[in-house]
Each structure stands twice: as C-alpha cells, then as structure tokens.
A and B are shown apart, each in its own frame.
Chain A
C-alpha cells in the first residue's frame, strides 16, 4: 500500500477489498452510515482497538481478533450482538495481499458468528506511524429482559468458572513472535462466545453474577478487577485450572504464568453456588465450553487478594501485573 500520491485510486481499491470480503447489503448500499431497526429493548454498545504483533498467528489473525473480540465484549453483558463497525489504520507498505487476507478472515468470522460488519472506514498513514495494521471495531447488541450482570455483584461463596483451557491465545502469539517451534502447534483460541453465553444465561438465570473475557492480562487481571469491584477475594485451586499440556510446557519454557496470558475465546463466569451445576452442564454441552471447569470460589477478604492454592499445598498470590511479567527473585 502507498500513502499520498495516487491516494484516490488506492482508496477505491481498499474499499473494494472490504466490500468483497464483508459482503452484505448495508455496505453495498454505499452510504457513510448504515441504518437498522431495533425493537424497544436494552442495548449495549462497545468499542475496541486491536493491535497485535505478529498480525498473523497460529489459529487466527488480527482480523478474527477484531471481530470476535468485539462480539465477546457484547456477549459478556449477556447480550446478543447485532452489528459491528470496523475502521482501519494501515501502514504504508503493508502488502495488499496481507490486507486481503485480514479482510477475508474478518468476513468469515463475521458470517460464522452471524454478526455483520455494516459500516467502516480506512486511512493509510506514513511508514512508521502505525505497525502494519490497526483495527478499531465497535458493536451493538441487545440484552435479554431481566438480566443484570454486574461486576460488583460477586458474593463470598460464589463459584468461579472458566469456559475452557487458559493461555492458548497468548502463548500462540508469543511462540510465533519468538520464532519457537513446539512438538504440538499451539493455536489461538480466538472464537465468538455469544452462542455459549446464550446457553449459560438460559441455564443459570439470575444466579449468573458476572462474566468477563480474560483477554489482556489474562485470568489474573480479570479476577483482580472483579475482586476490587465486588470487594471480595478469590481462592483458586491450581489443579482445577484447565491448561493444555503443550501450553503449560511452552509457558514453562518461556517463563510465563498461564494466568497472566491473554485468551481470546474463553470466558470467566461467577455464579451463585446453587446454579453452578446447571451452568456447568449447559457449558459443557456447547462446543466452546466442553472443558468448562469450576476453578475456585469468591471468599470474604477485606484485602481483596486473589490467591491460588498450589499443588504443593501453599498459597500463591495471583497478581495483577503493571506490564509484562518481570523477574522478582533476587
């Protein structure tokens, strides 16, 4: 891609890429906005910016991330996602083929999820002003009546549930970045969770306190956030947390804690103890929740610590990191 001279032709070219890839009537209408009808209901809206390096990684790329990530942010409210928008900041020099590949995977992800991308925008910036491709995605969705999930609703005794294995996405990206090869390829878990969420809402009803997708900062950041917002602590059981053997091995090699690693197709749900069993049953019946597991409980704790009981019987604080994992051992 080039910037500046020939901008018009380039703009046209890029537009065509997206039109073909996203392929829907709203975009085909060619307006600067799209209109749609909604019945009177409670709506949710979200927006996210996606930057990831490398942009292609085992199991996905920045495009699938942008579509599924935004869908999941809506789904975490228990809502059904309706429409997405996407805008792109492209770095001069990005191969057109890469753009086409990203656009296609976005189109596929959006069709697979049943959530169309109905409006968007593109800018090309000078070399060095962006890193290949940045995507900003917004989405809207509707909440089923009566559902009120809230991050301050967690009670001591509530169960902590994850929908599947932890750390897949972050480790997939990291291995690609570090140029590492493992015996078994580790794929990103990038997936849209709204279908699973619909089943969970149906099974747990108001017993469902809150849901989160543990992306950046991983499970550790998510649980610390919830602990702070709800004024509780969490106690996790190390041996209950599902981690793929190859992910565990890669984490060990890289010196990463899977709990601090990003996920893109997993959720954490906090549920009242009496709705735990039906919730787990519903989750395990869904393909994206087959390895769902209860990993711990909310506990009374004025200090709001998240602690993991290790397999050796001791406790270990699951910390919220300021940035990348730093050494501590002196």
Chain B
C-alpha cells in the first residue's frame, strides 16, 4: 500500500484509492472530504458496492494516504486500501459523489454507544437535540440492529418512515457535519417519539418498580440494583432463581464503586460497543443481583435514552459535573425475555409478553430490525475474552487469513451462533440462544436469512455438529448443501487455532461440558492433535458415569455419586448427600448395573467436585456449581499426587480421594481442586506436547469461562515452554463452536480429497 511506492509515482498523476472494510455509514466520506480540503487535493469520494472509492490529485497525496491509515473515523474498520495511479484530469475541487449501486462487498457496522459529542448536545439546552433520546451521528448509535439490507441507506433502515425535517436534512447533507449521511439522524421535530416521559420512567424506578425499556437490540428490564425487594420481585416475575443480573451505571467511576475495575476493565467498559464487563464485586448492591458469585456484570449507559433516565434518576444535576463523577446509582439491566426465549424487541411482543413482568413499558417508534443481546466480556490473562458476543461486535468479521468457499456453519444447540464465511472473512452471528423453543429457532432462521442477505453470498458448504438430535444439525441437513459434520471439541479448538491463524499441526485441548464424541460417547475433556482437517484424539480425562444424562448436568450430586463409584466408595453416598434423597438409590443402581454412559467431561468433573465439597447439589442455571466453586478460590493449592496419567488418560481420582479423606469442604476444597486441576492438566498437556514435538496449544471449551482455571493453565503452560492460546474473538463456550466448524470445514474443503483419520 501507498507510501513506499511514492518514489515510483511521477507528480501530476492522480491516485485512485479503493478502500474496503467497514467504511460506510461511519463518517468516512466527510472525513475524506475534510482531509482533501486541508491538503488542497482535488478529486472525489463516493460509496459503492465494494466500499469507498476515492480519487485524489495534487502535490500532497502521500499525506492523504498516511492520514487515512493512521486516523480514520472512530467506527471505520479498514481491511485494505488498494492504490492505483491513473492519469491526472487537472480538475480542481473535491466532491462527494452520489452512491453507486452494484453488488455489495461492503458491510454494515456494529452498533456503538452514544458518542461524547452527541452526549454534549443531548444535555445542551441550546441544542435542537436537547433531551432527544434518539440522537445519533456517524460516530455512534445503531447500525446492524436497524438495517434491513444493504446498501446502508436510510431507506433500508427502520428510520425509513421518518422523513427528515429541514434542519436534519441540512446536517445530513453537510460534509462538514458529523451527521453527514448519518442514516439514523432525527430530532424532536421529525424523529420517533418516546412513549413515556423520562420523568415518569425515573419516578417508577425510584418507587421500586420494574421498567421495560427499549434499547438498541431489544428491551431491557430495569430496576434499582440497590433495592433488594425490587430485584427479588424481578427474579420472581422473570422466574429466574439465581442466574446473575447485569447492572448499568453511567460511567467508569461509578462502575469502580461496584467492582474492581482495573485499566483493562476500564478500557472494555468504555469500548464503543459498551459491553457488559465481569469484574470482582465490591458487594455494594442488593444481594440477589448475583447470588453466591464473586463477580458481577457491569456496563455503562450506552444509548442517549439510558443517559436521560440515569440523569433524571440522579435528580437532574449539572451534566458536565455529573457525567464522569462517581455515583451510587446502579440499575439492574437484564435482557427482557421469558423462559429462555429470545429477547423481546418489538413493541407488540413487549406489550403481550412483558405485561406480567414490567410495571411500565417504555418504547419509542424506531423499530428494532435485528435483535442483539448485550455482549459480555471479562479480562482473562490480561486481555478481553468473550462470554457472549453480540451487540456492538456483530457483524464485524473475523479475518481467517485465507480465502475459501462460502461456508455456513450451524453451531451447537446451546448458546447457538451461526457463522457464514465470505472469502477470508468469517461473520459470526450474534448470540442466538438455546435452540430448545420455537421462538429461538425462528430467531435463528431469521438471523441466517438476514446474514446471507446482508453479505450477499450463496453458501456452498454446510458444517454442523455430530450430534444427531441437534436442531442446528437438522437445519444444516435441510439446507441441501454438501455437509461437513465436525466433532464438537474439534470445533472448539479449531476456533482458537483459526483466530490465531495457526496453520499446521497443533495440540488442541477442549475443557468442556459435553459434546457428542466421534464414537457417540459423551466427550468433554479432550486432548487432540489437529492439522488442518486431520485430527486425532490423543487422550481424555478418565471417564465417569453420567447417570441420567442431562440430569447429571443439572444435579451435581449425581456426579458426586458417579465419582464415589469411581473411587469404590458408593457406601458413602448416603452420608455425603443427605440432602439428595435419591443418592442412595443411585448408588444402588450404579452398584448393580454398570449401564450408565461414561463421560470424559471436565464440566461434570467440576460438578462432582462441587457436590462432594458440599458447595452445590442442584443447579438453577448452567454452570452454577462451577461458578460458585470458583468464587470460593483465593489461593489455589496443589495436592501432591492428586492426579495420575495412564494410557493418555488424566485421572483426578487421587485428588478426589484426598479431598474426601481430608474432609475438605467449601473454600479448602475449591482451592485444592483448582490448584491440582491446573497442575495436572499442565503436566498432561506438556507431556503430550513434548512427545509430539508441538508447541502451539489451542485451548477451547466452556470450562475456560473459569478464570482461575484459564489463567492458571496458560501460566503453567508458558512456564513449561509451550505457547497456549485462549479464545479471544469468540467465546470459549459453545458460542464459538460455529466459528470453529466453519474454520474446520474450510480446511477440509481446501484439503481435497477428504483426509483419513478423523471422525
């Protein structure tokens, strides 16, 4: 690109710049316009089907190129700039030309939190946007969630029904304004209206009421996070026993009152996507916000409407002094959905579904076209890691580093996402949810259709899980495309390898709850060798009975009994699990008939340990036992001889026996378990790496949501001289499976004929 070739270009030539990436609707043209004006360059800029096309002519074109690469507008994402020299035309003046149609190779940006400039105007009584809850510009506001199809133009968004007033039209057409071609531009005169006055919303919250509030990708349910009866009422009405609620505050200083916010957390909180950030709680909120957990999820207000509500709640203080000042004000802000269904996004659904939950429903006339939950991240090993990737990050692509056919990957059935590839870009859909109800499955179909439409691709290959009863697998089968089934844990580790663009042989370690094994057995703690589309199962955790299948995942006491079977201590079931009346019966059943399936799952091993430690016998949400167990750890401790490796199987039975013999419970047990787990895993993985001569270790699977485990393991592996990688661009849990499937399918497609030795 550009600068280095400068010497080759004789003066008097004109440069044509083809800019690709997320460059439309982000203020790129006014940026180019302003830049050209400053450098006295002639030419034009325009949007077209491939992105942005610029022509510049004049003595200072190199400065233009340099500025383009170093300081593009905040929401722009430049993938490439292709520069060609063409004959000069001798014209003067720089113009913004009309958009040219054509097959779109460009894309829609992700949604962004309200920018500083818009916030200033929102609270500036002299501004015509004063108090307008939907103020937005090219540097902020909705994108993906309000766009029906490309090209990104107002007519293709849910703002289409709102013709601009004169003032808005002027800003929209002014290349010097940050609202130049801001498709969602609107003001109190011409734009969508709020259904309830802000003061009334604030009053309801102040009175301990539950408010449903329309956000960017769906409705939130809000209540005062310091008001225990309000939070408890929300739990009751949402029929949500214990799963933690996220909390919204105005600024990072307020977040720091609620949780330990380091520089990395602060950077994440203020990232333009404004995700939910998990951080260690300081216990300042109502106890039922996140019962028994050490971390809480915090996010900053990200729509102008959020700001107006918080400001009113704070008693309408002077904005400039208030905006960055620490405040006690905190709202529970949880996705408005019911019983595992997708979040409510339309006014009709809000009306029919949220009636019994919210005391007040607050909406506005700007429709949400695409649903997107809040994204959730946490800092792991010094860098951000996704727990859920959705609003603010979708549809930004992940670079695969190499071209391939268009693949649609179906994902797994829980925490489902879909991935579609286009050339070297992989587009991972927003978090869709668990495919166990009609609404979520429809949401998935809708998401697939929309993504295909937005990307303007025709999938050539489908990838899916091996699980024969996954809804996602059936959808892939029904597509009629050539099908590439990918083993669940291969997909997990392939995802991590693909985001690193690791090619060639690597070691993959899946630390997971469950995946259908190549042999049909329930896998979950797997040591794999992966080389493109060739893979091999090198080892696994020592298998444990999985009594009652998914029941065992819901009731950790069952895994506790399974571990007792493994230890030959079934007689202890009765005394250890007095709170689980069926434990004795299960012990008897395991004694009589060894018919239960056996699993190599690490997730279930966590359950067994948490149950034996008396931490949790029955779970109310997925991963509760492991999360509460982790929350007890202060200082992990290694139990000497706590593991054994035989026949490539890593066995923690000695640790469990030691925990039982030592009568360890609660914190002691949690610290012994975590410490020994990390040491045992590192030992096992390190030995395999040495035996195979491999140094790259791709880690994947839902157990890596556990920070003590993830950080401990990468540290131990680095100390052992290998290079471990945690997933960074997709979640380690099943939300990342579709991306891994896509990557694996591309490897397979590029490796014709089908290699042997896998599945």
Q: Are B438 and A315 in contact (CB under 8 A)?
A: yes
14 contacts between A and B (CB under 8 A): A179-B592, A253-B548, A255-B547, A255-B552, A303-B438, A305-B438, A312-B239, A313-B239, A317-B435, A317-B438, A319-B471, A326-B549, A330-B414, A330-B513
- Interface residue tally on B, bucketed by range: 35 or more
Q: Are A179 and B593 in contact (CB under 8 A)?
A: yes
Q: B438-481 vs A: 1/0 string, CB under 8 Å?
A: 11011001000000000000000000000111110000000000
Q: Are B514 and A330 in contact (CB under 8 A)?
A: yes
A254: chain B residues at CB < 8 Å are 548
Whether A321 is near chain B, meaning CB under 8 Å from some CB there, is yes
Q: What CA separation (Å) do A322 and B468 show in the bound complex?
A: 6
Residue among B554, B589, B595, B599 with max Cβ neighbours from chain A (10 Å): B589
Whether B359 is near chain A, meaning CB under 8 Å from some CB there, is no
Whether A168 is near chain B, meaning CB under 8 Å from some CB there, is no
Partner of B589, one of A180, A252, A326: A180
With A253-B582, A327-B550 as given contacts, are A314 and B589 in contact (CB-CB < 8 Å)? no
Q: Are A330 and B585 in contact (CB under 8 A)?
A: no
A326: chain B residues at CB < 8 Å are 467-469, 516, 522, 549
- Across the two chains, which residue of chain B brings its CB closest to A319? B469
A324 CB to closest chain B CB, in angstroms? Answer: 9
Q: Are B412 and A330 in contact (CB under 8 A)?
A: yes
B414: chain A residues at CB < 8 Å are 328-330
Whether B734 is near chain A, meaning CB under 8 Å from some CB there, is yes
Q: Are B340 and A327 in contact (CB under 8 A)?
A: no
With A307-B438, A315-B439, A316-B436 as given contacts, are A255 and B585 in contact (CB-CB < 8 Å)? no
Whether B413 is near chain A, meaning CB under 8 Å from some CB there, is yes
Q: Are A178 and B467 in contact (CB under 8 A)?
A: no
- Which 9 A-B pairs give the minimum distances between C-beta atoms? A314-B339, A255-B548, A255-B551, A315-B437, A322-B468, A329-B553, A330-B513, A255-B549, A327-B549
Q: What CA separation (Å) do A319 and B469 show in the bound complex?
A: 8
Q: B469-497 vs A: 1/0 string, CB under 8 Å?
A: 11100000000000000001000000000
User: Chain B: residues with CB nearer than 8 A to chain A?
Assistant: 239, 338-341, 412-415, 435-439, 441-442, 445, 467-471, 488, 512-516, 522, 524, 546-554, 582, 585-586, 589, 592-593, 595, 597, 599, 603, 622, 702, 733-734
User: Chain A: residues with CB nearer than 8 A to chain B?
Assistant: 177-180, 233, 252-255, 301, 303, 305, 307, 310, 312-317, 319, 321-323, 325-330
- Across the two chains, which residue of chain B brings its CB closest to A313? B339
Q: What CA separation (Å) do A325 and B338 show in the bound complex?
A: 26
Q: What CA separation (Å) do A317 and B340 show in the bound complex?
A: 12
Q: Are A305 and B441 in contact (CB under 8 A)?
A: yes
Q: What CA separation (Å) do A161 and B585 show in the bound complex?
A: 35
Q: What CA separation (Å) do A316 and B702 show in the bound complex?
A: 23
Q: What CA separation (Å) do A323 and B520 show in the bound complex?
A: 11
A305: chain B residues at CB < 8 Å are 438, 441
A178: chain B residues at CB < 8 Å are 589, 592-593, 595
Q: Are A252 and B515 in contact (CB under 8 A)?
A: no
A301: chain B residues at CB < 8 Å are 438
Q: Are B413 and A328 in contact (CB under 8 A)?
A: yes
- Across the two chains, which residue of chain B brings its CB closest to A309? B339
Q: Are A255 and B550 in contact (CB under 8 A)?
A: yes
Q: Are B468 and A323 in contact (CB under 8 A)?
A: yes
Q: Are B338 and A330 in contact (CB under 8 A)?
A: no
B488: chain A residues at CB < 8 Å are 330
With A326-B467, A330-B414 as given contacts, are A315 and B592 in contact (CB-CB < 8 Å)? no
B702: chain A residues at CB < 8 Å are 330
B242 CB to closest chain A CB, in angstroms? Answer: 14
Q: Are B592 and A330 in contact (CB under 8 A)?
A: no
A303: chain B residues at CB < 8 Å are 438, 441-442, 445
B522: chain A residues at CB < 8 Å are 326-327
Residue among A253, A305, A310, A319 with max Cβ neighbours from chain B (10 Å): A253
Given contacts A305-B441, A316-B436, A329-B553, 13 further A-B contacts (CB under 8 A): A177-B595, A314-B339, A314-B341, A315-B437, A317-B435, A327-B522, A328-B413, A329-B550, A330-B414, A330-B415, A330-B514, A330-B515, A330-B734
A285 CB to closest chain B CB, in angstroms? Answer: 36
Partner of A317, one of B412, B437, B514: B437
- Across the two chains, which residue of chain A brings its CB closest to B551? A255
A52 CB to closest chain B CB, in angstroms? Answer: 16
B470: chain A residues at CB < 8 Å are 328
